[in-house]
Each structure stands twice: as C-alpha cells, then as structure tokens.
Structure 1
Amino acid sequence: MNTATARYAGHLRTEATHAASGNVIQTDAPTDNHGRGEAFSPTDLVCTALGSCMMTVMGIVADRHSLDLVNSTFAVVKHMSTEAPRRIAQIDVTFTLPAALSPNDRSLLERTARTCPVALSLHPDIKQNVMFEYK
C-alpha cells in the first residue's frame, strides 16, 4: 500500500495525500527558488520532519517512563548550501522541554532524540545541530 500519493498542482506546488488518514499537505517552492513561499517547501518538510521525529520518539520514551512532555516545543532553522548543488547543508533544532526533568531523564531524552529514524536517515553531510532548553 502507498504511504502517500501526490499531484503537481502547477505553479511549483504539490498536494500530497496521506493514504491511511486522508490528510493533505501542500508544498510550494521557496521565494529564493522561484516560488511564492506560501506553504512548506519540500526542504522545509525534511527539516520539520527531523524535529517531529525527534519529539515523537522522545514522547514514546517519556510515556514509557511516566514523564510529561505535553506542551514541549521545538523550532527548526534550515540552512541551504551556498554552492551548487542546491541542498540542505544544516538543520538547527531547538527543543524546549520541562525544567522539572531530572538530569538522568534529560540525558535519556536527548540520546533518544539524536537517534530517531529521520536523524539516522539523513545524509551525513547534513549537519544536525540539536539543542535542548529546559524551562
């Protein structure tokens, strides 16, 4: 079974449909690459997928250890290469997690995040700069 199907909508946009849920996401080329920047670009999705995957696996571990990560957040900054070929050069992900987490829990969650499936699937030339704040 397909994971997703997609169609080119014209004007550098795609619409992808998740097969299991029917959820739809749209992409648009970024303004620095002939697009309007009115939706996630494909490279934005890659970077956001890294943060989402890290948060998801931390959530799995947190549930297993009865830790509450509800309302934790992350922010992503994408850095594109300045030389050809155009590609993602670096992804900065900053997590804000609860200050009440113990040092052992923090270490466990940070280790878990860094070994998520997306992190392990990205090309090794893409620098992953992952930071954790506790508030």
Structure 2
Amino acid sequence: MPTVKTVYPGELRTENEHLQSGCKLITDAPLDNQGRGEAFSPTDLVATALGDCIMTIMGIKARDKGIDLDGTRIEITKIMAANPRRIGEIQVTFRFPDKLYTEKEKRMLEAVSKTCPVALSLHPEIKQNIQFIWP
C-alpha cells in the first residue's frame, strides 16, 4: 500500500497526502529555480527530514531513559551545490532547553543520533554538519 498520494496541479507545485493520517503537505519549487517559493521545496523537506529524524531518534532514547527533551529547538540550513544542482550540505543545530543533563546523557543522545535512518540514507557526498548546543 502506498504511503503518500501526490497530485501535481501545475505551476511547479505538488499536493501530498499522508494516507495513514490524512495530513497534507504542499511543495513549491523555490524562487531560485523558477518557482513561487510559497511552501517547502522538495530539497527543504530532505533537510527538514534529517533534523526531524535525529530529534525523533534522540526523543525515543530520551523517553526510554526518563530524560526530558521537551522544548528542544532545531535550526536547519540547506546549502545547495551546482553542476548538477543538488543538496551539498545540511547544517543541523540542536539547542537543548535549560535543564540539567549529565555528561553521560549528552554522550548517549549524541551517539544515538548517528543511527538516524535519514542520515544513513543520504548520499555520502552530502555533508551533514550536526551540532549539539547544551545548556
């Protein structure tokens, strides 16, 4: 069974529906690639998926260990490369809330972040610059 159903209404836009939840998502081509830039671009979604996946993997481990990560903020920067046009680098910075984390917890969460399926699925030429800012 499909995961997502997509319709192309034209004008470099896609309308996507996650079939299990019914959640909808629109993409637009970016302004620098003939689009309107009114929504996430497909490459924005790739970069976002990396940050969200790492956060989810850390969240699972944190929940299992009784560590509170609520309020963690993520800043994601996608850097495009040319010839061919592609994602060259994704920068992800995690800013953890002002709570007390032990060195062991920090090391454990940073280590488990490396098991993110999105990170492991990206082409090795895409530089993944991941930073953790602890209080």
TM bin (shorter chain): over 0.9
TM-score by length of 2: 0.96
Amino acid across the alignment from 1:48: T
- Please report how far the alpha carbon of residue 69 of structure 1 lies from its aligned counterpart in structure 2 after TM superposition: 0.5
1:3 match = 3
In 2, the alpha carbon distance for the partners of 1:42 and 1:26 equals 10
- Please report how far the alpha carbon of residue 114 of structure 1 lies from its aligned counterpart in structure 2 after TM superposition: 2.1
1:31 match = 31
Amino acid across the alignment from 1:103: E
1:12-65 CA-partner distances (Å, limit 9, x unpaired) = 000110010000000000010001111000000000000000000100000110
1:64 match = 64
Count of residue pairs brought into register by the alignment: 134
Q: Does 1:73 align with 2:73?
A: yes
Q: Percent identity?
A: 52
- Please report how far the alpha carbon of residue 112 of structure 1 lies from its aligned counterpart in structure 2 after TM superposition: 1.2
- Please report how far the alpha carbon of residue 73 of structure 1 lies from its aligned counterpart in structure 2 after TM superposition: 1.1
Q: Does 1:114 align with 2:114?
A: yes
* SS at structure 2 position matched to 1:84: coil
2:44 match = 44
TM-score by length of 1: 0.96
